[in-house]
Structure 1
Amino acid sequence: MRARRGETGAASVEFVALLPLLMIFAMMLLQLFFVVNTSFAADQAARDAARAYSLGRSPHDAARRSLPQGVSLIAVQTFGPDSGVRVEVEGPHFLPAVDGRVVREVVMP
C-alpha cells in the first residue's frame, strides 16, 4: 500500500507531538515509584527503631542502618512509656509538586 501524497510523514509529526506527554507520564510513574519506595523504607526504619528502643539500644542508629541508599534520615523522636518512635525520612524527588518527606510512628509494646 502506498501512502497518499499529502500524508507522507504524518506519523512522525504525530509522534513528535505526543513525545512530551509520554515523557511527562514516564516521569510521573518514576516519581510514584520513589514515593512508594520511600514509604516502605520509612515503615521499616520506624519498626527497627522502635524495636531497638524497646531493647535499650539507639533508635537513631537502628533507623539509619535500616534505610536504603537514596533515602535520608531527617529525625528520630521517641515518645510515650511504650517505646514509641517517630521517624521522618526524605526520599528522592524531582517533580516540584512532590514533597519527598515521609513520617511514620510505631509503638513497640
Structure 2
Amino acid sequence: MIRKCYGLSMNERGVLLDILSHLGENEEAFPSQEAIACNLGISESTVKSAITSLEEKRFIKTVRRRGQVNRYRIDQLEGNPYLVLSENVHFFLRLIPISHMKPYLNC
C-alpha cells in the first residue's frame, strides 16, 4: 500500500519504508536521519523534510529526545486517509477497462 500511495513523494515513501524496516518489538524505530540518508542515497535535509511531511500526513509520530536519536512511531496505517484514498483509486482503476480511459490520459 505504501509503495503505490499517490499521496507520498518518492522520498517520503523511501524514508517511511526505511523507518518501517527498523521497527522493533515496541513498535518504535530509531534510525538516525544520517543512517536513513545513507541507506537511501539522499541528503539529511531531504530526510528531515520527508519526516516533517510524514508527520503532517500522520504516517509517523516523532518522539524527540534531546542529545539522542529521535524515535519514530508508526501511526495507524490502516485508517490513514492518504492510503485509503489511494487504495480506492487503484480499486476504481481496475474496474475500468483502459480503452475507456484513453480520452482522459495524456499519453
Structure having the higher Rg? 1
Q: TM-score normalised to the size of structure 2? A: 0.27
Structure with bigger strand share is: 1
Structure possessing the higher relative contact order (Cα contacts under 8 Å, 6 or more residues apart): 2
Q: Scaled by the length of structure 1, what TM-score is found?
A: 0.27
